[in-house]
Structure 1
Amino acid sequence: MPRPATDKRERLTAAAATLAYTRGLERTTLGDVASEAGVATGSVYYYFKSKDDLGLAIVDQLRERYAALVEEWNAAPDPRARLAAYVDMHLRDAGTITSYGCPIGSLCSEARKVSEDLGDSAAEIFTMTIAWATEQFEALGFPSDASRARALHLVTGIQGAAVLTNALSDPEPLEREAAHLKRWIATTSA
């Protein structure tokens, strides 16, 4: 049964995201995206005039994913559990991170190679994550500046561990840093 034409943009975006994640956005051509999505190359150009346009669609898709994850984390009963859920998400993705790196970190690095504007757009996902973590630390009673510092520490720690995990092709750095961060979250107090 043929796919409806209305899902072509979503299929192209999903294919582009997969290729950007597995081989890098800079090395992915619009023809590669068409092939991965199973559509004619001209279809890519109909929906995306440039690699920047395609990159923005990937960023939007990832931003939506992270907005949904924030909602999921916010369902946890308290700030400590919400912060631990953020760390746990990375542990659940350890296999993929080992092979390809963190989706956000990888996308930000790749996007910046394509253009500053695309890099800035991708970085908004980190900005959103840091702001969310800052709110959690504020809910624990930390002042605003201290909450932001703790949020940066959390995100930097998990991202650094993700980079090392990918570089070494070994989940141990991520597992150890996640365990450390979860202990830190459990015992930190204002």
Structure 2
Amino acid sequence: MPRPASDKKQRLTSAATTLTLTQGFERTTIAEIARAADVASGSVYYYFKTKEDVGQAIVDALLAETRALVAGWEAAPGPRERLIAYIDSSADAAESLVAYGSAMAVITADLRRHSDELGLAASAVMQELIDWAADQFEQLGFAPEAAAARAMHLVAGFEGGAALSHTLGTSVPIEREAAHLRRWVENTKTQ
């Protein structure tokens, strides 16, 4: 049974994201993206006129995924619980983190090597996550500067644990970092 035409752009974006994670954006060709998405090569240009457009679609997909995750964490009753939900999400993603590292960090770095414009667009997704975490710390009573520093520490801890898990091929680093960050947030005294 053929797939509906309406999902082609999503399949192309998903294929481009996976190929970027596994072999890098520069090495990924339009033909490979089409093949991985099971779409005719010529029709790719209907959705993406340039490779920059492919990169922007990847950024847009990361942003949508990040916002969906944040929306889920926002269901928790308070800022401490929301931060813990973010941390606990690393346990759910441990297998993926071992395989690829943090998709956001890997893709952002790769797109930055391709062009400053795509790198800045991708880093804005990471910044949105940091800003969200800073807002949670502010709700706990921290001044904006202290909240921003805590948010940076939290996200850096998660990203570092993800990078080590990927590099070492084991979930132990992200699991240990997540446990440490969870205790840190649980024991954070409100200001």
TM-score normalised by the shorter chain: which range applies?
over 0.9
Q: Distance in 1 between matches of 2:7 and 2:98?
A: 31
Normalization by structure 2: what TM-score? 0.96
Name the SS of the counterpart of 1:26 in structure 2.
Answer: coil
**Matched residue, 1:159:** 159
AA in 2 matched with 1:170: T
One-letter code of the match for 1:33? I
User: Which consecutive aligned stretches of 4+ in structure 1 deviate over 6 angstroms post-superposition?
Assistant: none
Which residue is equivalent to 1:88?
88
| Aligned match of 1:52 | 52
Q: Deviation at 1:88?
A: 1.1
Aligned residue in 2 for 1:73: 73
- Quote the offset at 1:5 in angstroms: 2.1
Query: CA shift at 1:170, angstroms?
Result: 1.3
1:135 corresponds to: 135
Find the counterpart in structure 1 of residue 4 from structure 2.
4
Query: Percent identical across equivalent pairs?
Result: 49
What is the match of residue 108 of structure 1? 108
* Residue 172 of structure 1: aligned partner: 172
5+ residue gaps, structure 2? none
Secondary structure of the residue aligned to 1:150 is: helix
Give a deviation string over 1:119-173, Cα, whole Å, max 9, x none: 1000111111011000100010001100000000000111011111111111111
Q: Which amino acid aligns with 1:12?
A: L
Q: Report the Cα distance in structure 2 between the residues aligned to 1:113 and 1:43, rounded to whole angstroms.
A: 27
RMSD: 1.0
Asked whether 1:42 is paired with 2:46, we answer no
**CA deviation map 1:62-110 (0-9, x unaligned):** 1011111111101001111100111111121111110111111111111
One-letter amino acid of the structure 1 residue matched with residue 24 of structure 2: G
**Secondary structure in structure 2 of the residue aligned to 1:188:** coil
Q: Which amino acid aligns with 1:182?
A: R
Cα distance in 1, alignment partners of residues 6 and 72 from structure 2: 29
Offset at residue 44 of structure 1 (A): 1.4
What is the CA-CA distance between 1:49 and the residue it aligns to?
Answer: 1.9
2: CA distance, partners of 1:94 / 1:110 = 21
Query: Does 2:22 align with 1:22?
Result: yes
- In the alignment, residue 125 of structure 2 is paired with which amino acid? I
Structure 1: state its 5+ residue gaps: none
CA distance in 2: counterparts of 1:59 and 1:106, whole angstroms: 12
SS at match of 1:127: helix
* C-alpha distance in structure 2 between counterparts of 1:154 and 1:163, whole Å: 14
The 2-side partners of 1:59 and 1:100 are apart by 17
